Amino acid sequence: MNTRQVIDESVGPYSLSASFNNENTCFAVGLDTGFCVLKTDPCELTVSRDFNAGIGLVTMLGQSRYLAIIGGGKQPKFPQNKLVIWDDAKQKAAITLEFRTSVLGVRLSKSRIVVALLNSVHVFAFSIPPRKLSVFETTENALGLVCLGEKLLAFPGRSPGQVQLVELETGNVSIIPAHANPLRAMTLSSDGELLATASTSGTMIRVYSTSNCTRIAEVRRGIDEAVVFSIAISPSNALLAVTSDKSTLHIFHLPKDEGPNPKWGFLSKVPGLPRLFSDIYSSATAHFEICHDAPTGSAYVPPLGNSLGPTSKGVIGWRDDRTIIVVGSGRDGRWEKFVLHEGDDGKLYCTRTGWKRYLGGG
């Protein structure tokens, strides 16, 4: 007779998503029990809210008291077609927006609330009550991709692989035909000067100047297809970081503003050379932990009824030009710190200098 107790694997919180604030000084975690906020470096808990119900997505407005939260998990706190702007100082909802379909992505600034649905992006003035400013149609955007800068808004176009770039002040829209395949990840640089994109093939990352929509760089993550988790541009716009389901963090040098470095892609000038040899590969790589509850090679969806898409894995936050933080969600949600340095050989190296299970136990 087996008298051993059954281990309850449901004990303890489960993180459904993780995202950095605009300055990468903090990251917010949606839990099946509520949400929490942690400092980026060092990794320390600053806010913890227990709703006894799930928050599938939480997005911070800088270091202010406002957060955008959406229900998720097995027992959602809110219907997933409802967006709540949470005033953490007053411990209550300040703004509530309801839509016909699930909210898949949110971005906040001091003046705007941007909401991504499956086939549209909605822009509101950050006011009480909120005022709708514009609506844009998109191709199917199941990952809720949208980027919000001080002057620009970027999101998928009406055709797969396209990016719509909107000037917030004028409303002018530019279309960038970034990829032949649907978009998988995208990011704006902190100054809004650069836009980086990756498609569902996950092999090439492309970088565009937002001032004239020209492509200034194209780098190769690898030869095999992969699920790109996150892409991020360093504060000085000199480096690009990429994570994927290959458990590898890639670091690429980007060309200078005054023009491509002569050695940048010089093999592309050699006639008849296969493209794999002329493409730009990463300058440095490092291994990061995807976590045991995210099978390698697939976009992982947690078994908690979260319809917000894949759990956040390998989310990148640059603290400075030499320090990268990577966080992931799940039962084994982790924080990892990487530092870039030059070796005696003049090459760039990326070294993990610390890690922690931010939900405890590490």
Per-residue pLDDT at 11: 59
Q: Which two tokens stand for residue 185?
A: 């990840």
Cα–Cα distance, 337 to 317 (Å, whole number): 10
CATH 2.130.10.10 fits 15-357, yes or no: yes
Query: In angstroms, how far is the first alpha carbon of the chain from the final one?
Result: 35
* Per-residue model confidence as pLDDT tens digits over 295-337: 333 333 333 333 334 468 999 999 999 999 999 999 889 999 9
* Per-residue model confidence as pLDDT tens digits over 200-210: 999 999 999 99
Cα–Cα distance, 357 to 362 (Å, whole number): 5
Per-residue pLDDT at 162: 98
Per-residue pLDDT at 270: 44
Contact 31, 13 (CB under 8 A): yes
Helix, coil or strand: residue 140: coil
Residues of the chain with pLDDT under 70: 1-12, 257-278, 291-311, 361-362
Contact 188, 210 (CB under 8 A): yes
Q: Which of 142, 183, 143, 135 is nearest to 159 (CA)?
A: 183
> Helices in the chain by DSSP H: which ranges?
275-278
Per-residue pLDDT at 293: 57
Contact 102, 81 (CB under 8 A): yes
Task: Sort strands 239-244 and 152-156 into parallel, antiparallel or unpaired.
Answer: unpaired
Per-residue pLDDT at 273: 41
State the chain's mean pLDDT as an integer: 88
Q: Which two tokens stand for residue 162?
A: 């396209």
Name residue, tokens 């092999």. Answer: 203
- The set of residues, in sequence order, having a beta carbon less than 8 Å from that of 200 and lying 6+ positions away, is 181, 182, 183, 184, 227
Residue count of the chain, please give it: 362
